[in-house]
Structure 1
């Protein structure tokens, strides 16, 4: 269905547990005026901000009006809950994990997809491999979703962490395959010319680094597909016909951003600093 025939869709960037900022965004007059609007969340719903549990409750309460993809912080949260990863120095997950409804919230979180394609728009948290079409992106995302949704997910989620391999290849199998997919969908920013991922560069794109932003790699199968993503606060807002980057550093005291897909109307809420940039 073309966007013009659907209810308004607002795509929203990384919340990272900043529930008060999300509430303020949803109360914005332009968004409240869209009474039947749907909301697409580009991942990293939790962690680093002060109220991850509240953020999950707020989004979950939207029911079918909310579509989310998982980000790296969301998967990390699940791994901490499973006892296979230790909380990071700057994590703020303790209150969520101790909440009376923690199990309910975590079960809801682990059943969210890692990619969403609708109205000819593709949403992921970080990026899309240049060889992947939208259909292939969904297919590979489903491999991870099956692991996270399985009854024994706690026994296997540790397989998703690690920097190797740093490149996707269709011949990959097992843990290496799953790690390459999860790194692409939830961690990718800058890449080498051969398409392999660099996990050290977290700043803005730097032409002197010898690296390319993933969306500038040549011969991308999704070059003409509008892609919605977050994850890259130092890149900030990018609003072009085919790229909608929405992580504008809410948790760092910058903005929480929403863009209406039908007309690319931008709404931003200025946010309190919950973590110092660079932490």
Structure 2
């Protein structure tokens, strides 16, 4: 009888421990979840799109073609991973319990490839919450946002694919259009990346993430994924532009490099 009682006591103690531990982490994840919903503009429908660049050239017969950058594909995977599980670094002990409840309210994350510019772009895509990956030379949705003044920050030369990509050691410029009509120019002799948040009517949010090269475009998205809580605390609901930089290297890097901030611009009028 004592043996059975000991087993029952241990089972009850373990159940209580798991339940309390799971509850603590679940409450914490719900707090983070509310911040995530506000920061990424997910209040309506809990949906977000990731829009990648299209590297393909137009087909002679007009058929649509799609070609992706490996680094942008990695960026899309990082975003999907962010929204696919509970937004806390949970120990394995409670991950299954909390993820199981979190996934009942999972954000629907869709990845799309931007159409070729020759096919035309429906600007309605920017009336939903999305993360636009890549510069205007290859991402027609990004170019539409620039052409219609929906985005403020532009990397030098990104709208001119015929121009050579800056080489290792070159100085790169970012131009930020301010609310009062003035322009802020940021220059650095680094491989630059830009993250811009733009809030639309209805609470939807567009993020524009792009870099000098595909690897720094990936850095911009990865930085957003890894540091969104810190950035959210810093800016609240305000829009912003972050200019990031990593050291130049002739070779495209395959491992994530933590960038340094070159400039921070709050673009929401005070």
TM-score range, shorter chain: under 0.3
* Structure that is richer in helix per residue: 2
Task: State TM-score, norm by structure 2.
Answer: 0.27
- TM-score between both structures, scaled by the size of structure 1: 0.26
Higher relative contact order (CA 8 A, sep 6+): 1
- Larger-gyration structure (1/2): 2
